[in-house]
Chains A and B, each alone.
Chain A
Amino acid sequence: MSDVKPPAEDGGLEVNVVEAVASRSHLLKRATVAGGGVVVGGLLVAGLPKVAASAPSRAQDVRILNYLLRLEYVMTAFYETAAAEGQLSGEIEQFVSVVGEQERKHVALLQEILGRDADPEPAVDFGDRTNPDRVAETAHTLEETASAAYIGQGANLTKGVMIDAARITSVEARHAAWIADILQRHPAPAAADPAKSPKQVVVAVRKLGISISG
């Protein structure tokens, strides 16, 4: 394995992009939230550990779970908005209905684990992403991003909480594969799924033109 080199720390190129974006503070609003965490771009909780890089603790659990909860809030709101706008049909309509309900349950479980430490739901502007012809493509990016976000943080949680994270992680991956197959994209593009760092997650969501505040 000596010729297998670890990747550039924290994922390489994309991170450089987000650093450049982050330096323009008018683009990425910062806010202090419950537990003293700092939210950047509506999603990223500053100070989250890298993959398998920090000893688990309850305080760290709170930061990680709030970061994941925010992603679940965004997905839940996305499917609710898409469904409310109507005009969906066929399998996309079924996907939005089934998956939207499941994301709501993820929100509920994370809120339950966090208790009083749970962040409130942010306001999200989806732009034209909930237009019927953009729903599937947007859902695919969101689900892939969520799955990679859980992979990136799952092992940093304390054991009791990691079990619940694992039960959600595999479901996010199922969502990603389902919507990929609907779109005739690759449902399982790699033998091992790469993790995304919080910064990469923020970039992926921002690229969709989705803005999150609060």
Chain B
Amino acid sequence: MQRPSSNTPGLTLEQLDQDGAIQEGISELYGSTRADFLRKAVLGGGALIAALSVPPEVKAAAASDVRIFQFGLNFEYLQSSFYTETDRLGTIDAMAPRKAHWARTLGAHERAHVAIIKKVLGPAAGKRPFFNFRGNTETEDRFTRTAVAMEDLTTALLTGLTPKLQDQGLAAAAFSLMTVEARHAAWARHLVGVVPVASAFDEPKSLDRVDRIVAGTRFISTLRPRTTTSGDPRFTG
């Protein structure tokens, strides 16, 4: 991983989206209202709708289910911010059309996943952490390598977490998200000329293991809420 430069700015989606570009993008893809977007995002995924349309379910769900979805949300925040920042910096504009289509689709999906999981968690949803992608959003090569690693890691995470969910409806919803991450990973690998399916079975990774890997990237500056504030000025544009 690239050594961070001490003055590399941190970005948040809220800061990036001051002009509403992301919401616009979501509207283009999924329709003008949030409800409409959600409805289209699940595209007949009965499992997901079942999980979403019964809000008390998550309130009544085991504390471990809530923790799993909270971790999942942080991971989706990480991914969506990564793709959004790459787009915002113009890195995707410089790509060949087929590759740009891939990068933008992944961004749109990860943003949709954030919305879906936030909806599932309701008031238990955490805030978006601050991120510092340490230059990996700035060139096509570094972006692509990071994306391949990230999508494979998400697949391993969801493969490991889904069977741990106590609530059957939430587990069904997680299956619907897991396959999308697996598609992203395979698509990414195919684009870079690597066999998209390395093995007959995806090996699950535990939440703790993924937590350590993500911590190692130092992409998330506040994975868990901090009581002290950073002295670094925040990047605003």
Contact = CB atoms under 8 A, between A and B. Distances in A.
Majority secondary structure of chain A interface residues (helix, strand, loop or mixed): helix
B197 A163 contact: no
Contacts of B160: 166
Contacts of A192: 41-43, 45, 48, 112-113, 116, 173, 176-177, 180
Given A4-B49, A106-B200, A173-B179, A190 B43 contact: yes
Given A170-B159, A193-B179, A193-B180, A7 B168 contact: no
A66 interface: no
Contacts of A1: 35, 38, 52-53, 55, 119
A119 B173 CA distance: 29
Contacts of B204: 163, 166-167
Contact of A190 (B168, B180, B201): B180
Given A155-B168, A156-B168, A191 B109 contact: yes
A187 B43 contact: no
B175 interface: yes
Given A154-B162, A155-B168, A188 B105 contact: yes
B24 interface: no
Given A170-B179, A177-B196, A191 B171 contact: no
Contacts of B196: 174, 177-178, 181
A105 B198 CA distance: 13
A6 interface: yes
A27 to B, nearest CB: 26
Interface stretch (A32-40, A96-104, A121-129): A96-104
A188 B48 CA distance: 17
Interface in A17-33: none
A157 to B, nearest CB: 8
Interface in A87-138: 98-99, 101-103, 105-106, 109
Nearest to B38: A4
A145 interface: no
Contacts of B183: 173-174, 176-177, 187-188, 193
B49 A188 contact: no
Contacts of A105: 200-201
B178 A169 contact: yes
A185 B113 CA distance: 22
Contact of B46 (A11, A164, A189, A190): A11
Interface in A43-61: 50-52, 56
A130 to B, nearest CB: 21
Given A171-B201, A194-B45, A177 B112 contact: no
B32 to A, nearest CB: 13
Pairs A-B, 3 closest by C-beta atoms: A191-B112, A173-B179, A174-B186
Interface of B: 30, 35, 38-39, 41-53, 55, 105-106, 108-109, 112-113, 116, 119, 155, 158-160, 162-164, 168-169, 171-187, 190-191, 195-197, 199-204
